[in-house]
Structure 1
Amino acid sequence: MASSSTFPQSSSPVDAPPPPSVAMAYQGTEWHKDMAFYRAALTGEWDAARKFLDRDSDRGVHARLGYYSETPLHVAVAAGNSENFVYNLLDLIPDDLSLALTDSSGNNPLHVAAAAGNYNAAEILVTRCPNLLHLSNHDNKFPHHFAAEYGHRKILQLLISNTNDKHHTNPFAGEGGVWLLLSMIESDFFDMALDLVGKYPDLEWMKPKSVGRVLNKIAVKATTFDGDNHLNFWKRFIYWCVLKMDGKSQSFDVENQTSLEPSRWRELVLILHSTLCQVIKYLVPGINRFHEKKLMHEQIVELVKCLCKHMESLDYNDAAAICSETMLTAAESGSRDVVLEIVETFPLAVHFRNSLDQNFLHLAIKNRCENVFNLLYMTNMCRYQYANAIDNDGNSILHSAAHLAPFHKLNLVSGAALQMQRELQWFQETSKFVSSYTRGLQNYSGKTSEMIFTEEHRELKIDGETWMKDTANSCSIAAALIVTVVFAAAITVPGGNQSDSGYPMLYESSAFTIFAVSDAVSLFTSSTSLLMFLSILTSRYAEHDFLYALPKRLSIGLFTLFLSILFMMIAFSSTLYLVFGRKKAWVLLPVGALTCLPISSFVLLQFPLLWDVISSTYGRGVFGKQSNRTRTFP
């Protein structure tokens, strides 16, 4: 078995020269026959392959056909050929030593099956020759590593379940075991990683250096499955109200049920709940994936707890080194639960600094990781020790909040104006946790946090002003048109007026009353909307106007515009009924259906913007205590 002091993440033989053995084999004039055999192995044509094997019995299944000196079995397994083709080849292989022939990279056929995702071939090879599980290639990679790196979960489970951990070449031991665990984490196989760590607590991955590497990898990956931000409000509501009822249904009180036997009643409840969940999963796209992510997040937390529990047996220096690196990495990536578990194991981790003398708050605020920042709401009075910390350049956490957010975080908010609002919210919220002295502190370049905020957000402020004016200008045109139409409709009422009294001819009809009220409401709301958008166009656009004043006007303008469209459609429908449908009730059906068209169009096109503006201005926001956990952050 090849050994190596380092274990590379991957080997890329794409740029490697042709193996000498292949070049020598193809120098003769019969190379086209080998190519015919190669094509037969690729396509799974056993009859064509058998002709070559019968003609050239000396080489046979030992022939080197591919660019990397692959045997016919390598090629067939990589191509995903049928089980019959693989079985037929295996029948012609005399012994396990021939079965374990490797290509120029040292990969045996099981390596290839694991990389290609050919489960049937992997199962056949493991059954025929279990020793293939314990043979590594030139890079010291076992088939397990290939299955984990390429994300073939089912094959990896097969390989792990059939591996003899007492074998002298154990894929779980040494540096290779660490890389296997890291690859499993990278491929989101957290449950399998947790099982391995629990089953083999004394291997290389439990050494101090390895624990730090694994925790850092988890800290980076954990944010992918953290929280329930991947679904909108109503999907999230359905998830928590329906799918999370499993525990409640399991503990359903059946003792007081007299109409049915307790066991039958409980069974009925569980069946109904299971059926309801399946229907919900089918009708609501994304619920299944979201549920899987929640389960993965729970597995991540358990894996971190297991590793942190192990750190309690280390000496102070080793534990401090691991916690320092992991704490800062988790804070930078936004892995809230990783930070919590690290702090619970090693409370002093909140005071660790990086090479720039920045603590976890500097990094969390700089990268706009609100999940980590919100841990401040769980703190006691000791937070002043790190909330007022200064880095090597004299910057406080308020200076970090004054810098422009990373673009991948900024783009999570729709519209430049709302992005500016979110930046102001970050700056305002951060200022609550620093002392009055720190708020006015100048860094070593002589700049206060307000000066940095103005400089960094100059272009965003201009973009926000342009976005807000364009939106207000477009909506004001629509509002002005509605004002004109509904005002004219109020003067020229349907059916005309009586010549002697001037009263409308149809004023006694209920439909006319609906028309009058709807037209009046539409006029008032469209006028209000027009005034709101005009106030936006004439605003001074100072920095702090983006925090509350401008979003408030925009939300009122959009909401009243929606109401004006709604009541204008009702007024128009009432007019159609009065003129054409008083004795034809069927007219209401097409009129009602067509009335829903502009209303639904507005909801689909403009309501998301209205919801974003209202939720970011008046909603709960991204700041505040996000957990009811009883333990306190230091």
Structure 2
Amino acid sequence: MQFHFSDFQDLLLFCMENREVMTTTCMDRNLYNAAAKGNITNFKDHSFERPLEALLTPNKNTVLHISITALENRIESTENNFVRDILNMCPSLLCQVNVKDETPLHVAARYGHANIVKVLIDCARDHPHNQDVENGVEAVRDMLRMVTKVKDTALHEAVRYNHLEVTKLLIKEDPDFSYTVNDVGETPLYIATERNYEELVKEILHNCKSPAYDGPLGRTALHAAIIWDNREATDKILKKIGGAITKKADQEGWTPLHLAAYLDQSNSTELLLGHDSQVAYMKNKEGRTPVHIAAHRANERLMKMIIDRCPDCCELVDNRGWNALHFAVEANRPDSVVGLILENSSFSNLLNEKDDEGNTPLHHQYSLYFKYAKKNLMDHPRVDKMAFNKNNHNAYQVTLTSDKLSTKEKMKIWLKSRRHSRRVFVEHEPKFREDLRKDLKRRRKEYLDEAAETHLVVAALITTVTFAAAITMPGGFVGTGGDPHYEGSAILRRNVAFKVFIITDAISLVLSSSAVATHLFLPVLVIWNSESDKTRQALLELAYGFILMAMGAMVLAFITGAYAVLAHSLDLAITTCVIGSFSFLIISFICGMYNKDLGIDAFISRKYKRLKRCIKSWPRPFRAV
């Protein structure tokens, strides 16, 4: 069965119309293997029940699709002959598509078979029905422009898999075609730029007369070049396509300069501003300009580049009314970018500018990092320290509502605010006092709960360890073969170090047990006491003291017990004792470093005063006169 076509366009039309009709469920195994191996003999010597174009796999791959796909481990020159011979036998295979609408050219471009691509192009050009050169060129271009179901051309495939030689061949045959986007919005230029295939980018820009540059999400190839901070690609795209591309924004309104500001791409920023400085004034959907983005990201160098070119762009505000200084104080490392604005007197109008909520940059700075700020706006002479927002709050009052500060820090700021503002002080002082009292009570309860859990666990561990140490006895016990009078007693009972071990172990056991008992009675005592928080804190402090002393006694018990057992090896005994003594040094160091936080001085002072009162209240003996 043979088909004859008047020209190449009829062949294409035939393939498109009959791709659903010419279907088979499978291909003969011998023919499939012959196609995979590039063996043309099987096809020349075989009498087919169906034409070659009807020999299809379940996915409608022809013998030409199979042969090109399997080419990886074979010599291309051999395959070139197979492709030519099979196309001579059945020219319609040249543009016949599979279930994905992929032609053999798509497959060859995907796998980078440049020689096969050249053969396919030559076959399209040299088709017998193409009588003149013009028809041959048109036939090649029609084949190159065929798209798959996802709208990919052969050039899309070649670029995606970084095949430079194939790309050169395809562009050379059709330099005028713009290559529109596929289903996901990609053009060949965008794919090459996004994947940073520099040679492919150069090839497309140099040889395509007007390459399409669109990408997904409304982005362009210039956006992709900015992401890589590829100065060379950025420069070539700008020169080839022109200034219009610098103002192309994506779906979120981000121009390439917005991206450069976000990623701190100084090389690209210099090129963009040099090509068209007006892009510095463009806003995204949130109303943010590139200088807003740079300020918020604390990209000082890039922000300076934009300001040097377009100093008045700092006056622009976003949809919330924020200017560049509002964004600067919100940055992760604000001091550098805040300082950049504060040091320039021409930006003084930004210092007291209010957003839609009436907040100045000072309000934002104090609500975020008041205690860490080095470039503090409060220290600037042109800043209005008494500025109030729409809630009638100045910077100090805004700080008091921040979750980033402790109650103690808020108290300091509150006391300072009494001197700086009288407008809302009288109205808000009672409420703040009540809120502060509730906050302190809540924090106190949380602290006491955590402390109680920790104390109980530590005390129980010390009790367990000291009890076990007393039962096991260092040195062991007198056995049945010894003096019956001392049978079962400790072998080291007359050793001085052993005696100290027993005493200190007993002290540690008693103290830790007392701490456990204190926690045991704690709930009962708190319930029946009107000042439950104070009682609970006092009992926890008592248990805290018991545990500290128990730890010291336990360490002494270990040192003396080890010395008693190792007395015959004096060097080892002394070394063990010295190492054990380091525990006291560590505890002393911690207590010294964090004396104020731990409240040790206050604890000792309270207990000392209480002891003095107890001594004074002791009954004195009556002396007769």
* Alpha-carbon distance, 1:201 to partner: 7.9
In the superposition, relative to structure 1, how do residues 352 and 587 fare at CA in structure 2: closer, same or farther (>3 Å)? same
**Cα distance, 1:108 vs structure 2:** 3.3
- Tell me the alpha carbon deviations over residues 356-399 of structure 1, each in whole angstroms, 9 at most, x when there is no partner: 22212222333x2347755448716766x32x322222223333
Check 1:561–1:125 CA distance in 2 against 1; reply closer, same or farther (3 A cut): farther
CA–CA distance in structure 2, aligned partners of residues 588 and 35 of structure 1 = 86
8 Å Cα contact 1:533-1:557 kept in structure 2:
no
d(CA) in 1 for partners of 2:243, 2:433: 56
Among candidates 153, 162, 175, match of residue 97 of structure 1: 175
- 1:361 correspondence with 2:362: yes
Query: Kindly tell me: are residues 336 and 371 of structure 1, through their superposed partners in 2, closer, same or farther at Cα, counting changes over 3 Å?
Result: farther
How far off is 1:326 after superposition?
1.0
Q: 1:44 aligns with which of 111, 118, 121?
A: 111
- Deviation, structure 1 residue 144: 1.9
The offset of 1:109, in angstroms, is 1.0
SS of the residue corresponding to residue 351 of structure 1 reads: coil
2:387 and 2:394 in contact (8 A); partners too: yes
Equivalences for residues 446-457 of structure 1 within 5 A = 448=428, 451=431
- 1:205 and 2:279 matched: yes
What is the aligned counterpart of 1:330 among 322, 328, 331? 328
Alignment partner of 1:169 is 2:149: no
- Distance in 2, matches of 1:183 and 1:551, equals 56
2:424 corresponds to 1:441: yes
> Match of 1:308, SS?
helix
By how many angstroms is 1:160 displaced?
2.3
Aligned pairs (5 A) from 1:296-315 = 300-310=299-309, 314=312
- Go from structure 1 to structure 2 and tell me whether the alpha carbon gap of 1:579 and 1:112 turns closer, same or farther (over 3 Å shift): same
Confirm or deny that 1:32 pairs with 2:77: no
CA-to-aligned-CA distance 1:146-197 (integer Å, 9 cap, x gap): 233xx434xx3341254564x56136754669811111233x2433345436
Residue 179 of structure 1: aligned partner: 255
Cα pair distance change 1:357/1:36, threshold 3 Å: closer
CA contact (8 A) 1:442 1:449 kept: yes
**Where does residue 146 of structure 1 map in the other structure?**
224
Q: Does 1:423 align with 2:501?
A: no
Q: CA deviation at 1:204?
A: 1.6
Q: Residue 74 of structure 1 aligns with which residue?
A: 156
Letter in 2 for 1:111: Y
CA 1:173–1:481 in structure 2 vs 1: closer, same or farther (change >3 Å)?
Answer: closer
1:17-28 correspondence runs (5 A): 28=19
Query: Amino acid of the residue matched to residue 454 of structure 2?
Result: C
Aligned alpha-carbon RMSD (Å): 6.1
Whether the aligned pair in 2 keeps the contact of 1:327 and 1:349 (CA below 8 Å) is yes
- Please give the alpha-carbon distance, in whole angstroms, between the structure 2 residues aligned to 1:522 and 1:470: 24
* Partner of residue 160, structure 1: 234
CA distance in 2, matches of 1:553, 1:87: 83
Q: Is 1:130 paired with 2:203?
A: no
2:361 and 2:165 map into 1 onto residues whose CA distance is: 57
Change (3 A) 1:35 1:45: farther
Matched, 1:392 2:390: yes
Q: Give CA deviations for 1:495-551 in whole Å, capped at 9, x if unaligned.
A: 599999x99746556x987998899799879989998999999999xxxxx9xxx99
Give the secondary-structure state (helix, strand or coil) at the position aligned to 1:401: helix
Matches within 5 A, 1:534-573: 568=554, 571-572=557-558
Cα pair distance change 1:203/1:428, threshold 3 Å: same
Question: In 2, distance between residues paired with 1:374 and 1:537?
Answer: 51
Question: What does 1:525-536 correspond to in 2, within 5 Å?
Answer: none
The letter for the 1-side match of 2:175 is L
**3-state SS, counterpart of residue 294 of structure 2:** helix
Rounded Cα–Cα distance in structure 2 between residues aligned with 1:551 and 1:41: 81
1:467/1:453 Cα in 2 relative to 1: closer, same or farther (>3 Å)? same
**What count of residue pairs does the alignment treat as equivalent?**
457
Give the corresponding residue for 1:9.
Answer: none
Q: Shift of residue 126 of structure 1?
A: 0.9
Indicate conservation of the 8 Å contact 1:528/1:557, yes or no. yes
Summarize the alignment of residues 178-327 of structure 1 with structure 2, pairs less than 5 Å apart. 179-186=255-262, 188-193=263-268, 195-196=270-271, 200=274, 203-207=277-281, 213-222=289-298, 300-310=299-309, 314=312, 320-321=315-316, 325-327=323-325
| Alpha-carbon distance in 1 for matches of 2:123, 2:545 | 82
CA contact (8 A) 1:397 1:430 kept: no
The alpha-carbon distance between structure 1 residues 44 and 580, as it changes in their structure 2 partners (threshold 3 A), is farther
The one-letter code of the counterpart of 2:460 is: L
Over 3 Å counting, the alpha-carbon distance change for 1:391 and 1:380 in structure 2 is closer
Distance apart, 1:484 and its partner CA? 3.2
- Which residue of structure 2 aligns with residue 349 of structure 1? 350
Shift of 1:342: 1.6
Q: 2:122 and 2:441 mapped to 1: Cα distance?
A: 78
Q: Which runs of no fewer than 5 residues in structure 2 stay unpaired?
A: 1-14, 21-95, 126-138, 479-484, 528-532, 599-625
**1:486·1:523 contact (CA, 8 Å) conserved in 2?**
no
Give the aligned residue type for 1:471.
E
CA distance in 2, matches of 1:494, 1:478: 26
Q: Is the 8 A contact 1:74 1:109 kept in 2?
A: yes
Q: TM-score, normalised by structure 2?
A: 0.54
For the 8 Å contact 1:402–1:450, the answer to whether it is kept is no
Instruction: Classify 1:135/1:36 alpha carbon distance in 2 versus 1 (closer, same or farther; 3 Å).
Output: closer
User: In 1, distance between residues paired with 2:543 and 2:123?
Assistant: 84
Contact 2:222 2:234 in 1 (8 A): yes
Distance (whole Å) between structure 2 residues aligned to residue 73 and residue 552 of structure 1: 81
Query: Could you tell me which residue of structure 2 aligns to residue 113 of structure 1?
Result: 192
Q: Residue 448 of structure 1 aligns to a residue in which SS?
A: helix
* Structure 1 position 448, deviation (Å): 0.9
CA contact (8 A) 1:362 1:397 kept: yes
1:379 aligns with: 379
Number of the residue aligned with 1:64: 147
Residue 88 of structure 1 is matched in structure 2 by 166
CA deviation after TM superposition for structure 1 residue 40, in Å: 3.7
**Distance (whole Å) between structure 2 residues aligned to residue 590 and residue 145 of structure 1:** 67
Other-structure match for 2:604: none
Q: Which ranges of structure 1 fall in alignment gaps of 5 or more residues?
A: 1-23, 223-299, 411-421, 541-545, 604-609, 619-634
AA partner of residue 326 (structure 1)? A
| Residues 109, 158 of structure 2: 8 Å contact kept | yes
CA contact (8 A) 2:452 2:540 kept: no
**Structure 1 length normalisation: TM-score?**
0.54
Deviation at 1:452, TM superposition (A): 5.3
Instruction: Give yes or no for contact 2:511–2:549 (8 Å, CA) kept in 1.
Output: no
Give, in angstroms, the shift of residue 114 of structure 1: 2.1
User: What percent of counterpart residues are identical?
Assistant: 13
Look up the match of 2:73. none
- What's 2:447 paired with? 468
Distance in 1 (alpha carbons) for counterparts of 2:379 and 2:569: 71
Q: Which of the pair has the greater relative contact order for Cα pairs under 8 Å at 6+ separation?
A: 1
The offset of 1:328, in angstroms, is 1.8
Q: Once the 2 structures are TM-superposed, how far is the Cα of residue 71 of structure 1 from its aligned partner?
A: 0.7
Give the 3 Å change call, closer, same or farther, for CA 32–526 of structure 1 in structure 2.
Answer: farther
Instruction: Tell me the CA shift for residue 64 of structure 1.
Output: 0.5
Distance in 2 (alpha carbons) for counterparts of 1:189 and 1:147:
14
Query: Paired residue for 2:400?
Result: 402
Amino acid at match of 1:403: T
Which string of whole-angstrom CA distances, capped at 9 and with x for unpartnered residues, describes residues 232-277 of structure 1?
A: xxxxxxxxxxxxxxxxxxxxxxxxxxxxxxxxxxxxxxxxxxxxxx
> Contact between 2:277 and 2:309, CA under 8 Å: does it hold in 1?
no
CA distance in 2, matches of 1:402, 1:220: 24
